[in-house]
Amino acid sequence: MVSIEKGTLYVVATPIGNLQDFSPRAQSVLRQVNLIAAEDTRHSRHLLNHFSITTPLQSLHEHNERQIAHNLLQRLHNDDNIALISDAGTPLISDPGYYLIQTALAEQITVVPIPGPSALISALSVAGFPADRFVFEGFLPAKAAARRQRLEILVEESRTLVFYEAPHRLVDCVNDMAQIFGEARQAVLVATKR
């Protein structure tokens, strides 16, 4: 069993497709904390049930983070331990939690990463492109005009570019990339296998 400290915020990576990628350390931390702040409690409950983790859940997503953060920070100051998880992968990598962590650090609360799966790093490791220097752009804007404008800014970028995209926008996004970057620019699509 992993020893955890009082009044600590743990940032815990969760599996991105295969439940066997969930580390024993991450599972131990989630069993021991007083509360888990989760992007989508319904999604996270499935994961926690699979590993028989019964720790209470609190929803923390982009629409409620600022409201919920105050309560979580108060609990941390009162020596509760809290874990932050996202739906899949490492929290904050195109997921909520930035405000909570930024504020916790400003209030001198200990924040501890529990490393694990990251879609960004997993995709980069198998893409066959240089991975020593890269630019992570996260999700591009959903609207075509804004997406194209963002891509135009990156035309001269020589480092490997990494993007996230929703399945229902993938074709439009790739078409915009081909149009803006030119057909000679190499690309690879990497999907998480569940």
CA nearest 35: which of 90, 78, 93?
A: 78
Residue 156 confidence (pLDDT): 95
Residue 94 confidence (pLDDT): 86
Residue 4 confidence (pLDDT): 81
Q: In order of start, what are the domains of the chain with their CATH numbers? A: 8-114 (3.40.1010.10), 119-181 (3.30.950.10)
Residue 181 confidence (pLDDT): 96
Residue 183 confidence (pLDDT): 83
Residue 193 confidence (pLDDT): 63
Residue 194 confidence (pLDDT): 55
- Taking the chain (194 residues) in consecutive chunks of 10 residues, what is each chunk's mean pLDDT? 86 93 96 96 94 97 92 97 94 91 96 94 92 94 96 96 94 95 91 68
Residue 173 confidence (pLDDT): 95
Residue 52 confidence (pLDDT): 98
d(CA 190, CA 123): 6
In DSSP notation, 153-184 reads HTTT--SEEEEE--GGGHHHHHHHHHHHH-TT
Do residues 132 and 122 make contact, with C-beta atoms less than 8 angstroms apart? no
Q: What is the pLDDT of residues 70-109, one digit of tens each?
A: 999 999 999 999 999 999 999 998 888 999 999 999 999 9
